[in-house]
């Protein structure tokens, strides 16, 4: 047990060291194994972790990840291996997105940013940053204490650290600050569902069910938590999953608290299993039936607008999401206005985000002046999107918004510049040969250990 604790600690150390050192490998032939990957990439530097993603049946999905001991190795891997052929297929090698940020929803709106940050630091380790969505001017009419918007983004020192928190935090008894069960997810995997809507969800998602679980069985299990309006079992996947519609949110919260992670006996006193209960994801509304025009009007009439779950740190939000996102503006473009022209010259995703910030009053055209926009346009689209998302969340309570906006841009530019330097730096080639001759003991880390 001590050894396990120690190795967990080492793992965290390792995690931190190798940040940014992972490559994504796409275009793998189905037959390629992890051994194949290792063979290919071991010439780039020391590999500390590598995996090929597979479906439930263990069939390769055709892509994988290789994590190196050093960041430089990832660049080398990209240079050396991107586009090479493997069994007739062209490999795609790029720096991995290496997600390390979690979305926290269903938070207590009374928490101040400071309180929440402290709470997060007390509850989890390896926290890098905490961004609680603060109120924009939505509630400016009320004189009472400013409420937060009920969601936050928390960044961790590594994917592994974030994944552990996701595991722990989506479990059971897990109550943040002892009072609520937060909705935790990977930050950029979420769609455009607003936090208020999320808090209204009264449906439980029930997972890890045995194959013979049915509606009746679930009804018996969950009936006494309150009013059960409807129970549904879906058998689309290889195991069934359940949905329990409760009469109120508190009944749902209680059911999660009591049931998630519990060992229960299966249907007809079948073998027992660990049931998993969580807040269901919001049902996807199908916009197809509704005309685009209707959507536009409906959305633009919502005063204040709604927060967006997509953190967009990497600015490559799915096209699907982009097309679903409310198309802004009944604005009449005035092309003679240089400010308007600068706005229009931005990529559409950037333009929309910026318009949203202006519309929500998180920043004004006075704060985000034409200089800011020019500076923003010098960033790659993904960087600009990231800056705007960051501003969207943290900008509203900043004193000098224009300065803050520019500082976010500057940070991005330094990052971009730094990366370019690394790529052009020839010294890493000689370092590479050093790395190759060094022999490290490869350690297998226990991903399943739950701190």
Partner DNA sequence: GTTGAGCGTT
Paired sense of beta strands 263-266 and 270-274, if any: antiparallel
Compute CA distances 266 → 235, 263, 271, 432, whole Å. 17, 9, 5, 55
Tokens of 133: 């969505």
Residue 310 in contact with DNA, rule: CB under 7 A = no
Q: Which of residues 6-25 bind DNA (CB under 7 A)?
A: 22, 24
The three-state secondary structure class of 299 is helix
Angle, helices 2-17/159-169, rounded to nearest 10 degrees: 130
Compute the least distance from the CB of residue 399 to DNA, in Å: 35
Compute the least distance from the CB of residue 81 to DNA, in Å: 12
Residue 208 in contact with DNA, rule: CB under 7 A = yes
Q: Which stretch binds DNA (CB under 7 A): 60-68, 293-301, 352-360, 398-406?
A: 60-68
R_g over Cα of the chain? 24
Residue 205 in contact with DNA, rule: CB under 7 A = yes
Do 79 and 95 contact (CB within 8 A), yes or no?
no
Any residues with CB less than 8 A from the CB of 326 and at least 6 apart, and which?
Answer: 295, 296, 299, 300
Q: Which stretch binds DNA (CB under 7 A): 160-168, 211-219, 369-377, 383-391?
A: 160-168
Q: Which of residues 268-297 bind DNA (CB under 7 A)?
A: 276, 278-281, 283-284
| Beta pairing partners, 245 | 203, 230
Residue placing its CB nearer to DNA in the complex, 57 or 424:
57
Compute the least distance from the CB of residue 109 to DNA, in Å: 22
Residue placing its CB nearer to DNA in the complex, 101 or 396:
101
Distance in angstroms (rounded) separating the CA atoms of residues 284 and 106: 18
Residue 422 in contact with DNA, rule: CB under 7 A = no
Compute the least distance from the CB of residue 183 to DNA, in Å: 9
Residue 186 in contact with DNA, rule: CB under 7 A = yes
Distance in angstroms (rounded) separating the CA atoms of residues 109 and 197: 14
Site map for DNA, 111-150, x if CB under 7 A? Answer: ----------------------------------------
Any residues with CB less than 8 A from the CB of 406 and at least 6 apart, and which?
Answer: 371, 372, 375
One residue of 17, 38, 79, 90 binding DNA per CB under 7 A: 90
Any residues with CB less than 8 A from the CB of 318 and at least 6 apart, and which?
Answer: none
Residue 26 in contact with DNA, rule: CB under 7 A = yes
Closest C-alpha among 324, 344, 320, 342 to residue 332: 344
Paired sense of beta strands 127-134 and 148-156, if any: antiparallel
Cβ burial, residue 416 (10 Å; 0-12/13-18/19+): middle
Q: Which stretch binds DNA (CB under 7 A): 92-100, 102-110, 298-306, 416-424?
A: 92-100
CA 122 remoteness from chain centre: 21
Q: Which stretch binds DNA (CB under 7 A): 35-43, 165-173, 321-329, 404-412?
A: 165-173
| Beta pairing partners, 54 | 60
Q: Which stretch binds DNA (CB under 7 A): 57-65, 139-147, 390-398, 416-424?
A: 57-65
One residue of 20, 29, 207, 266 binding DNA per CB under 7 A: 207
Q: Which of residues 242-271 bind DNA (CB under 7 A)?
A: 243, 245
Distance in angstroms (rounded) separating the CA atoms of residues 386 and 352: 13
One residue of 17, 38, 51, 121 binding DNA per CB under 7 A: 51
Residue 96 in contact with DNA, rule: CB under 7 A = yes
**Interface residues with DNA (CB under 7 A)?**
22, 24, 26-27, 51, 53, 61-63, 65, 90, 92, 94, 96-99, 159-160, 163, 166-167, 170, 186, 189, 203, 205, 207-208, 230, 232, 234, 236-237, 241, 243, 245, 276, 278-281, 283-284
């Amino acid at each position: 047990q001590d050894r396990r604790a120690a190795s967990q600690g080492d793992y965290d150390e390792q995690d931190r060291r190798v940040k940014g050192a992972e490559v994504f490998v796409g275009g793998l032939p189905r037959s390629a194994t992890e051994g194949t990957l290792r063979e290919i990439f071991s010439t780039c530097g020391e590999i500390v972790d590598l995996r090929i993603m597979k479906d439930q049946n263990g069939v390769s999905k055709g892509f994988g990840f290789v994590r190196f001991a050093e960041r430089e190795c990832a660049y080398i891997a990209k240079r050396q291996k991107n586009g090479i052929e493997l069994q007739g297929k062209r490999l795609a090698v790029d720096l991995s997105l290496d997600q390390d940020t979690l979305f926290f929803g269903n938070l207590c709106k009374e928490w101040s940013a400071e309180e929440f940050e402290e709470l997060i630091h007390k509850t989890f380790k390896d926290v890098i940053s905490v961004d609680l969505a603060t109120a924009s001017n939505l509630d400016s009419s009320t004189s009472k204490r400013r409420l937060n918007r009920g969601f936050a983004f928390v960044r961790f020192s590594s994917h592994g650290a974030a994944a552990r928190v996701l595991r722990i935090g989506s479990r059971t008894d897990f109550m943040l600050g002892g009072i609520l069960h937060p909705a935790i997810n990977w930050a950029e995997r979420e769609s455009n569902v607003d936090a208020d809507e999320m808090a209204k969800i009264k449906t439980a998602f029930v997972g890890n069910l045995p194959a013979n679980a049915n509606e009746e069985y679930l009804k018996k299990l969950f009936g006494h938590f309150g009013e059960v309006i409807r129970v549904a079992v879906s058998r689309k996947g290889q195991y069934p999953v359940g949905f329990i519609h409760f009469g109120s949110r508190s009944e749902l919260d209680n059911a999660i608290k009591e049931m998630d992670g519990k060992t229960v006996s299966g249907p007809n006193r079948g073998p027992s299993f660990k049931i998993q209960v969580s807040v269901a994801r919001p049902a996807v509304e199908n916009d197809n039936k509704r005309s685009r025009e209707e959507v536009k009007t409906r959305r633009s009439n919502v005063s204040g607008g709604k927060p967006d779950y997509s953190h967009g740190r990497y600015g490559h939000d799915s096209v699907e999401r982009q097309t679903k996102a409310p198309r802004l503006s009944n604005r009449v473009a005035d092309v003679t206005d240089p400010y308007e022209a600068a706005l229009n010259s931005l990529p559409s995703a950037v333009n929309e985000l910026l318009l949203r910030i202006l519309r929500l009053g998180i920043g004004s055209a006075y704060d985000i002046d034409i200089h800011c926009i020019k500076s923003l346009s010098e960033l790659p689209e993904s960087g600009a999107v990231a800056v705007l998302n960051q501003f969207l969340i943290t900008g509203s309570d900043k004193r000098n918004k224009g300065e803050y906006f520019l500082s976010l841009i500057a940070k991005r530019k330094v990052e971009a510049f730094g990366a370019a330097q690394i790529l052009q730096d020839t010294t890493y080639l000689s370092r590479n040969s050093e790395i190759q001759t060094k022999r490290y003991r490869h350690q297998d880390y226990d991903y399943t250990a739950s701190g």
